[in-house]
A and B are shown apart, each in its own frame.
Chain A
Amino acid sequence: MLSRTADHLFWMSRYIERAENLARLLDVTWQMSLVPQSEEAANQSWNAIIALNSLEEAFARKYATVNGENVLKFMVSDPDNLSSIHSCLRLARENAHAVRGTLTTEMWETLNATWLEAKEKSFEQLLGAGIGDYFEWVKMRSSLSRGTTLGTLLQDEAYHFIRLGTLLERADNTARILDVKYHVLRPHDDEGATDFYEWGALLRSVSAFEVYRKVYRDVITPDRVAELLILNKDMPRSLHFCLNSVIKNLELVANRQSGETARQAGLLHAQLHYGRIEDILAHGLHEWLTDFMDRIYLLGDGISKDFLVPMAEAA
């Protein structure tokens, strides 16, 4: 497969996954803002979303205050914000457009129709119709795109690079959500009572609320939430699950120069496979997650250099 084709597929799937995760995160934050709370607490959650994406400066350039409406507008429909859902859907479609011949008709039509519909929706319309419906819509479009990929695409290299993009993006997003929320929700270790609603919302943002109940059959505690999202190998949005799939797909596309990238992925996977939550927490969750996200970034970089944008002299 052409390196450029693989590159577009990889980014196409990253952007659609990013749009979905953003919709999930905004959705729970918005729902939580409806629960009675102090204005300060509410704005803290909105601020966390901006911080999560390292967009403090870009946001401050356009908006004076951090509040629900401004953050939603910035993260949902702002075309100047390349991390907004609007931009992610556009970029997913642009990448798909560049390789539409490699996609199945169903996949292309799904991404194209998603973008055509998204660009017609103004922020005011979305708010008016209920922004929650929009988040549902984004999630469903992402599911549809994943479904058409799974249901129609030949499982050759194209499929493997799409999966690599999806899973690397998801691992990064889950780690980010956990990192920010964990510390917002648990500023001091000695604070006894945990807020059921807040932790419930975090779980729901990764579709893991029912999963948690099923796995632990117990009350929600922060450490178990961390364990579920990091180490559970069967939960589709956990870091362990993502890395399982990353190493599998990397193996399937391996070439002469990808050995080191595969080794790095294997190392990271081993940490999750053999890791214990007690050790991670003792190490410091924030430090651990920061290190994890750095290594996910390096993996993406390795994949890019090995497969997607190879140097000319590789001949």
Chain B
Amino acid sequence: MNFYNEMYDAKGGVRAHYKGYEDWLKATPPERIERKRAEADLAFHRVGITFAVYGEEAGKERLIPFDIIPRVIPSAEWKALQSGLRQRVKALNMFLWDVYHDQEILKAGVIPAEQVLNNAQYRPVMQGVDVPGQIYAHITGVDIVRAGEGEFYVLEDNLRVPSGVSYMLEDRKMMMRLFPELFAKHKVAPVQHYPDMLLEKLRAVAPNGVTDPTVVVLTPGAYNSAYFEHTFLAQQMGVELVEGRDLFVKDEVVYMRTTQGPQRVDVIYRRLDDDFMDPTVFREDSSLGIPGIIRAYQAGNVTLANAVGTGVADDKSIYPYVPDMIRFYLGEEPKLNNVPTYMCRKPDDLAYVLAHLPELVVKEVHGAGGYGMLVGPASTKEQIEHFRQLLIAKPDGYIAQPTLALSNCPTFVEEGIAPRHLDLRPFVLSSGQCVNMVPGGLTRVALTKGSLVVNSSQGGGTKDTWVLED
């Protein structure tokens, strides 16, 4: 397979937007680079920018490897991406409003109704609830990859509780601290205003009549894998970081327990899955949630960001229909590519998938985080056979896609600098008619040679992402 290299063209010449960096890399003594890389490691450890890995010793924290070769995106490419992202996220929010109100798109037969209404992520409690600004996905993390000759594809839309934005910010901070001279030479678009932008969006979706809303960040707690990010965002926005037990509901109003007595809460940026939000409505065994909060939400006394029930739009079984959503709601052609997807619930697709398993990527419809997937070309016969059985047993639980030739980028690894595959997750913020994002996003890189899985839980690292201004 041929891979698109972010830094070099097919003939081995350096691409124009990487010229400055490559010159610098060649001119900088390797000892200095080594020293700086060690310094970065130490700093990340000391500051405690870590994440917990599920399944490992409880409470164990690992560092996400940080690579000092940035991922550079030229201005024109970013502008095209940005306009495609705006279009896509706008349509997704319109879809969610529609699904939880008149369901025009189902009536029109664009998406099979049972695909939506029988989906476990469809939340009947949201039917008819008017969320402020008609926004469901206030924060969207869209996973984008580059493949083939360099064209971008959307791999998935994360509309529930996308994470990683703190790494985007910390990577930039680290890069500026280690190599200030690079920023003097390049016009790198700044990203550090993200928390400000987020706070502004959250305040904009406060319940009706609330002019000076109290915003909080809700975390599952210190053992959650993304806990660092929760504290980081709360601190950067200057709002309280709360756990479920800090909140309670009285007369359909949400309060937090403070040293000065109960204080009303208006907007909750929640980093807790729907299932755990309210034991009286969803999972009864959840001790992380707040009993009665869904009633308060339905009554319009508190805003949840993201809204409950967004999973019905980022589910892998709905993903193939996103281009149709864009045509249906906006009357436009999609600007970003979808990856061709085989829906195993369809007998023809299933037959094709079973016959081509070694060359496909198979994903669980409800899976996330790189767990429960098969990358055909990188798998053993046993793993493929295992998935074959899973597929036959439960075809509607899976989709399959061609294995994309993900682009790669030079990366520091043990044996020196070598190409590694990467993706990009821009964070798109929505409120009312306004859809914004900071330039770039989080670049994740698969550090294992040949690996196409970039998730940090699967050994992925990160890179600073530079959008160059003209």
Q: How far is the CB of B318 from chain A (nearest CB, A)?
A: 35
Considering the complex, which residues of chain B in the window 18-77 have a beta carbon less than 8 Å from any beta carbon of chain A? 45-48
The answer to whether A2 touches B262 (Cβ under 8 A) is no
User: Which B residues touch A161, using CB under 8 A?
Assistant: 259
Q: Are B47 and A255 in contact (CB under 8 A)?
A: no
- Known A-B contacts A105-B47, A108-B48, A113-B46; A3 and B232 likewise in contact (beta carbons under 8 Å): no
Residue from the list B234, B246, B260 in contact with A4, Cβ < 8 A: B246
What bracket does the count of chain B residues touching chain A fall in? 20 to 34
Smallest beta-carbon distance A295→chain B, Å: 22
Q: Per DSSP, are chain B's interface residues mostly helix, strand or loop, or mixed?
A: mixed
A residues 1-44 near B (Cβ < 8 Å) are: 1-6
Number of interface residues of A (CB under 8 A): 30
Q: Does A109 contact B (CB under 8 A)?
A: yes
A3 touches B246 (CB 8 A): yes
Any A CB within 8 A of the CB of B241 = yes
Do B48 and A2 have beta carbons less than 8 Å apart?
A: no
Chain A residues lying within 8 Å of B245, measured Cβ to Cβ, are 4
CB B50 to nearest CB in A, in angstroms, measures 10
Contact B248 A315 (CB under 8 A): yes
Of residues 226 through 268 on chain A, the ones whose CB sits less than 8 Å from some CB of chain B are 253, 255-256
A98 to B241, CA, bound (A): 10
Q: Give CA–CA (A307, B259) in the complex, Å.
A: 5
Residue from the list A4, A99, A113, A116 in contact with B257, Cβ < 8 A: A4
**A100 proximal to B (CB < 8 A):** yes
Question: Once bound together, how far apart are the Cα atoms of A132 and B333, in whole Å?
Answer: 74
Q: CA of A116 to CA of B255 in the docked complex: distance in angstroms?
A: 37
In contact, B222 and A98 (Cβ under 8 angstroms): yes
Contacts of A312 in B (CB 8 A): 248
Q: For A113, what are the chain B residues with a Cβ–Cβ distance below 8 Å?
A: 46
| Chain B residues with CB below 8 A from A130, complex form | none
CA distance A3 to B242 in the complex (A): 10
Q: Given that A2-B240, A2-B246, A315-B248 are contacting pairs, would A101 and B261 also be in contact in the complex, using a CB cutoff of 8 Å?
A: no
22 contacts between A and B (CB under 8 A): A1-B259, A1-B260, A2-B242, A2-B246, A2-B256, A2-B257, A2-B258, A3-B257, A3-B258, A4-B245, A5-B240, A97-B222, A98-B222, A99-B241, A101-B235, A109-B47, A112-B48, A116-B45, A253-B259, A314-B257, A314-B262, A315-B255
Chain B residues close to A by CB (< 8 Å):
45-48, 222, 231-232, 234-235, 240-243, 245-246, 248, 250, 255-262
The chain A residues found within 8 Å of chain B, CB to CB, are 1-6, 94, 97-102, 105, 108-109, 112-113, 116, 157, 161, 253, 255-256, 307-308, 310, 312, 314-315
